[in-house]
Amino acid sequence: MTYSLRVNGEDHIVSDSWIGESLLFVLRGRLGLPGSKNACEQGECGSCSVVVDDKLVCSCLMLAASCIGREIKTVEAIANNGRDGTESLTDIQQAFVQAGAVQCGFCTPGFVVAINHLLNENPRPTELEVREAMSGNLCRCTGYGRILDAVAQVVTERTR
Ligand code: FES
Ligand code: FES
């Protein structure tokens, strides 16, 4: 089947697609957007997190074809950080780097998408709310403390 998906404010044609393809597969394999990571493909780790119609979802669990007519936002929309050679990290991404919240980095795009989504909806979350918002994202490396530090740093800076 051939259809159009709206991703990061642009329409993309997906052609010769099987109806059962996941949104994660289509983003990475067909649209050349590798920021969303594939770690478990079972909805367990959050590394594939994207926003569809203002809802945070695991793109590995959604059929791409079910997103026709919906607004999809991936980590690539959060900052233009390298595809054209420019660097324009957001404050969230900068805070991750500064706090040492990026180690292997595989989980990082999913966390950035989840935290960006949280702070858009709730600019002053409590630590409990941050923990709850991150509860669908797994990190094997950091122990989460540095990620919490990064979020606290962003909230402090934004509400100064
Ligand atoms: S790859 Fe989607 S939740 Fe792990
Ligand atoms: S930094 Fe390695 S999994 Fe999170």
DSSP 113: H
- For 23, the token pair is 């949104």
Instruction: Give tens-digit pLDDT for 78-113.
Output: 976 555 556 688 999 999 999 999 999 999 999 999
The atom number, within ligand 2, closest to the CA of 102 reads 1
**Nearest ligand to the C-alpha atom of residue 97:** 2
Tell me, in angstroms, the distance from the centre of ligand 2 to residue 34's CA. Answer: 17
Ligand 1 neighbour 138 (Cβ under 6 A): no
Q: What is the pLDDT of residue 160?
A: 86
Q: What lines the ligand 2 site, CB under 6 Å?
A: 102-107, 139-142
3-state secondary structure of 116: helix
**Nearest ligand to the C-alpha atom of residue 137:** 1
Q: What is the pLDDT of residue 141?
A: 97
Pick from 40, 139, 146, 147 the residue to mutate for probing ligand 2's pocket: most ligand atoms within 8 Å of its CB: 139
Tell me, in angstroms, the distance from the centre of ligand 2 to residue 47's CA. Answer: 10
Q: What is the pLDDT of residue 79?
A: 76
**Residues 144, 94: Cα–Cα separation, whole Å:** 17
Q: What is the pLDDT of residue 65?
A: 97
pTM (two decimals): 0.94
Q: What is the pLDDT of residue 51?
A: 98
* All domains of the chain in start order, with CATH: 3-75 (3.10.20.30), 91-158 (1.10.150.120)
Query: The tokens 């709310």 sit on which residue?
Result: 129
DSSP-assigned beta bridge partners for residue 3: 14
Low-confidence ranges of the chain (pLDDT < 50): none
Ligand 1 neighbour 41 (Cβ under 6 A): yes
